Structures are given as structure tokens and as C-alpha cells.
Amino acid sequence: MNLSKSKYCLGVTCKKKLWLETNKPEVKEEENGQVLLNGTLVGEYARNLLGKSVTIPFNKDLNEMINDTKKYLQEDNIVICEASFNYNHNFCSVDLLKKEKDSYIIYEVKSSTSIHDIYLDDITYQYYILKNLGYNVIKTCLVLLNPFYVRHGEIDVKKLFKIKDVTDTVLEKVKEIDKNIQDINLYMENKEEPKSELSKNCKDCPYFAYCTKDLDSNNVFKVRYMQMRKMLDLYNKGVTSFPDLLKEPINPKFKQQIEFTLYDKEPYINEYKLKEFLKTLHYPLYFLDFETYQVAIPNYDGVKPYMQIPFQYSLHYIESEDGELKHKEFLGEVGVDPRYSLAKRLVMDIPVDSCVMAYNMRFEKMVIRELASLYPDLSDKLLIIHDNIVDLMVPFKNREYYTKEMEGSYSIKAVLPALFPDDPSLNYHNLEDVHNGSEASSSFVELEKLSQEEQDKIRNSLLKYCSLDTYAMVKIWEKLKEVTKEKVKIRN
């Protein structure tokens, strides 16, 4: 087959993945990780990294791109973006190619801050093609984002990027390329679907559900928080079903998940521990949740690549034991750095003597610490809020309250429906437009592209989504109180 950079990299990661991508793309699951916002801008900024450059425009007819490249390569010194080549049915476009007289340097741009193995395969493939076409490639470099770069004024591309010379690794890896290409081509000749060979590369693969479809619905890969390496060891030994797993020496928490599912067990409630946890709380009680977005290219002063930018929070609160549930919220304005206004409102909204509840508090604490370091005038109050945070996730993480419906997970998205299966007001699927954190981030960043009417609608959806996050925490806290009281009553 005709290979490209992306196809080669897919084939090196897993040949079955390339086969499915080519022959059965419909079985792929939707990928819903953190959305990379403004990732395409990375390539655009990188074009200025080596000074003046020319760009080969994209053309469906790859020969056009190759011919355009040849014309530019007649010059002695030049930087070409998307310089395109074909060797023996292997095509590549080089992100940045620098020509100095008869020497060439390949630069592969990545919107990441660190090197991943697959980047090395990618750049080695390009080196292989150019070398075989007779070009004197003297160096190969990866261009990565510098995680320590802080924007002040205009973007400084020289500081935004860091260049890593990976020539030595490429010279080693290129020895394997002929065989890799041959193996991939041979594999792709299969008309019948080849068997899946599961490996560490399966983690987060969008074909994973398809490749494991013949296993029991309750199988080793459903054991929450077990390491992939351990799962694969068991799978390769033929231990895949829940009953078989119970015969293995595995962590008691994994056993608990399996036994609850297999034997349809009643909820486990450690009344003593839950009461201990509830005793650590006091009024006024605030339930806090932030929404943030991350951008590859810093969009405001004081922002680093991939820094979490908080743009919204929701606060449900109860001031005293018999007080009513109240709500406050903040949502940043379109096209404006939201951080200072958010921090200022937060310290006004949460009194210093409050107990602040978050679910998975590491995140909320990290956001508050960053705000405190940015704004010295608010720092003291922010750090008081920080120190007052209690984590509502703890009783679930410690399995002091566990039901089979949680399926081993202590994430709020698993705990909430397990505790409130029939409450439509707590069902994220019933929300409009925004149903999860990724959608919230991308919706907020995209707001400025919308009409006023559309903006109002999305802003309303954002408020409802974030409000549900803290309302869910209130309901979970109430449930903890309810189950501990019920147990006391039974004992008396």
C-alpha cells in the first residue's frame, strides 16, 4: 500500500489498528479525552522558528506538492514548510526542512512538551525517505513546546519552542525501517480480518472495545485501576473472566469489585468511617467546582503552554445546620482573561471560616494555588480557601461506601448514578449542549465565534452544567448523612 507518516506510525504502533482504520473504521469508538484547543496554531507559529520560510500548499494530488518542493529545492539556502517527497510508495511532508547548500535538516513539530516514542518513528520515517532519495540529511530534530515559557506581550517563538536533536536515535532506528515497511505492507494484504494481539499500546485505543468484543462482558480489562501491564499478564495467561480472576492473588480492592458484581452484593457502608468523615465538616459549608481550559499556545500574559485556565465556578452552600441550600456562580466574559475576575469573586463569595468541599480536591487546590501565585493582593484569602478544602471523594476512594454499580470506580461520574439511579435531575445526559468537562472547555473557548444569541444559549448551558457538578456533590453529602443515620436507627 502507499504509506504516509501517519499510516507508518499507526502500523508501527499496531498493525491491526492500521488494518481496522483502513477496512473497518466504523467500529472505532469516539475518543473523548481532553480536547486540545488551538493545537493547529502550533504548526503556524513554528513556521517562523527558523526565520523566513516558504510553504508548499496542500494538494490532493501529492505529485503537485512533490513538484513544488523540487522547484524550491533548486535554491541554495531555504526553509520549506511541508516539503513533500515520495520514495517507493512512501510519502511524507516534512514540517520544516532547512537546506543549506547541499545539507538538509529535518524538523518535526509536535504540540507536546515532551518526547514520545512515536515521534521518533515519525521523524525516522522522514529521514529514511529523504536519505533514499539521495538527500544529504545531516541532522533530525524534534520541535516541542517549552513548558516553562510564560507569555509576556507578543509570543516569542524562540522561547515558546525547544529543539531536540534526535539524530543519534534516528540513525539507530532507521536500521529497522525496511523491515517495518515490509511487515506493514504484508499485513495489509490480508483480506480476512487478522486476529488482535493485545499489547500495552491498546491503552486508550479507540478500537479496544471492538478488539475485546469476544471476551465476557465482565473481563479482566473491566477491573478499575488495575495496571495495563498486570491486565495483559493475566490475559496472556488465559485468565480473563471474573470467576477466573478470583482464583488469582490480586489486590483486595480488585477482588471486591469482582465479588460485588458476581454475587450481586448489597452496598457496603462503613458507618463508623463515614461518620468520622462527616465530623470533619462544619458550617458554613461550600461545595466548589471549577471549569478550566488548556491551550497549547498561551493566549494571555502570564500563561504557559497547557496551563489550566479557570473560567467558571459553581458554588452551592449552606450557612448553618438548618439553613437552606443557596447557589452562586461565575462565568468569564468572552475574549477576556477570566482569571483575575474569577479569583476576586471567589474570595468574596467564600467566607474565610467556611468548610469547602470539592470532589477530587487536587484539581481545585492546584487551580487556587496558581491563582494565589499570580495575584499577590488576593493570595492570603485564596490560600485560606485552599487550606479549608475537604475532599468528598475520600470515602469512595477508600471504599467506605461502595455499591456494585460503581464498578470499581470512585469518579463522581460513576458514584452519582450508582447512588441516584432514577433521578433525572442528576443525569448529565439530560443537559443541553454541555455534558462533560471537555465540552465545557471547548464551548467556552469557541464562544467568540458565535452570534450573540448562540453565545447566550451556550453560556446558559455552561452554567447549568457546572451547577449540576456542585449540586451532585450536595446530594452525595446528603446521602452520606442519610445512610449513616439509617444505620444508627437500625442498630437502636
Residues that bind ligand SF4 (CB under 6 A): 14, 16-17, 20, 196-198, 201-202, 205, 207-208, 211
Residue closer to ligand SF4 by CB (options 233, 333) is 233
Count Cα neighbours of 292 within 13 Å in the Cβ-side half-sphere.
19
Helices (H), 405-451: 412-419, 437-446
The span from the CA of 44 to the CA of 53, in Å, is 11
Cβ partners under 8 Å of residue 414, min gap 6 = 405, 406, 407
Cβ 68 to ligand SF4 shortest distance, Å: 35
Cβ 13 to ligand SF4 shortest distance, Å: 7
Cβ 240 to ligand SF4 shortest distance, Å: 15
Helical (H) or strand (E) element with 89: none
Residue closer to ligand SF4 by CB (options 203, 253) is 203
433 within 8 A of 312, measured Cβ to Cβ = no
Nearest CA to 58 among 69, 47, 71?
69
Residue closer to ligand SF4 by CB (options 27, 325) is 27
Residue closer to ligand SF4 by CB (options 196, 292) is 196
286 three-state secondary structure: strand
Cβ 198 to ligand SF4 shortest distance, Å: 5
Residue closer to ligand SF4 by CB (options 228, 318) is 228
Residue closer to ligand SF4 by CB (options 205, 473) is 205
88 within 8 A of 77, measured Cβ to Cβ = no
The span from the CA of 127 to the CA of 220, in Å, is 41
Looking at the DSSP bridge assignments, the partners of residue 361 are none
Cβ 230 to ligand SF4 shortest distance, Å: 16
Cβ 467 to ligand SF4 shortest distance, Å: 37
* Distance (Å) of CA 328 to CA 191, 323, 325, 331, 479: 60, 15, 11, 11, 22
| Cell numbers at 1, concatenated | 500500500
Cβ 22 to ligand SF4 shortest distance, Å: 12
Residue closer to ligand SF4 by CB (options 24, 485) is 24
Helix, strand, coil abundance in the chain, percent, nearest 5: 50, 20, 35
Length of the chain: 492
